[in-house]
Amino acid sequence: MTADLTAKARRIKLLLTDCDGVLTDNGVYYSERGEEMKRFSIRDGMGVERLRAVGVESGIMTGETSPSVQKRADKLKITELHLGIKDKPARLAEIMARTGLAAEEIAFIGDDTNDVEILKLVGLSACPGDATSFARAVAQYQCQALGGHGAFRELAELIISAQTAA
């Protein structure tokens, strides 16, 4: 990890994540009733708990309004949950105003074109290893892990390592 990346990670107090393509592998199961299931990584969930243990909160910001995302957030006790968000930069501004956090204290991990603008605005930006070229072009850190397969956890561990280093 570069010194610049470590310095950025040390300042993080809130890690926001997109859902589909980051917390999931971009797959969804549909039936005649509509969306049925999404697959989430248990290891990513442990990343939320480990971040909380060092004083860093996690949040989900997604354009989707999926009930499965609500269930996952409830299980992980994530209160910073933003569903159906089409303007992520505007929601980021609202979060900063409400919490008093500066952009440098917020990280975001996203994987696609709808994440590009918010990736440019936060203190630490990242994308999964299988993110689109649009997200990779602006992210400060590209995870080796793929979306839904530990990318969130990888970023969480990077932040934890930077904040707990002597």
Does residue 37 register a pLDDT over 90? no
CATH of domain 3-164: 3.40.50.1000
Question: What is the average pLDDT score of the chain?
Answer: 95
- Taking only the tens place, the pLDDT of each residue in 110-160 is 999 999 999 999 999 999 999 999 999 999 999 999 999 999 999 999 999
Phi-psi domain of 26 (left: phi exceeds 0; alpha: psi -120 through 50; beta: other) = left
- Taking only the tens place, the pLDDT of each residue in 101-113 is 999 999 999 999 9
pLDDT of residue 36: 73
Report residue 88's pLDDT band, with 50, 70 and 90 as the boundaries: very high
Residues 6+ positions from 33 with CB-CB distance below 8 Å:
none
Report residue 1's pLDDT band, with 50, 70 and 90 as the boundaries: confident
Burial of 101 (0-12, 13-18, 19+ CB in 10 A): middle
Q: Using CA atoms, how far apart are residues 129 and 143, in angstroms rounded to an integer?
A: 5
Residues 6+ positions from 165 with CB-CB distance below 8 Å:
6
pLDDT of residue 14: 98
Closest by CA position to 145, among listed 25, 18, 45, 17: 25
Average pLDDT for 24-37? 80
Average pLDDT for 71-94? 97
Domain residue extents for the chain: 3-164
pLDDT of residue 35: 67
- Which of residues 30 and 103 earns the better pLDDT score? 103
Cα 75 to Cα 28, 84, 142, distances in angstroms: 19, 19, 27
- Taking only the tens place, the pLDDT of each residue in 154-164 is 999 999 999 99
pLDDT of residue 66: 86
pLDDT of residue 85: 97
Q: Using CA atoms, how far apart are residues 31 and 60, in angstroms rounded to an integer?
A: 25
Report residue 96's pLDDT band, with 50, 70 and 90 as the boundaries: very high
CB 122 within 8 A of CB 103: yes
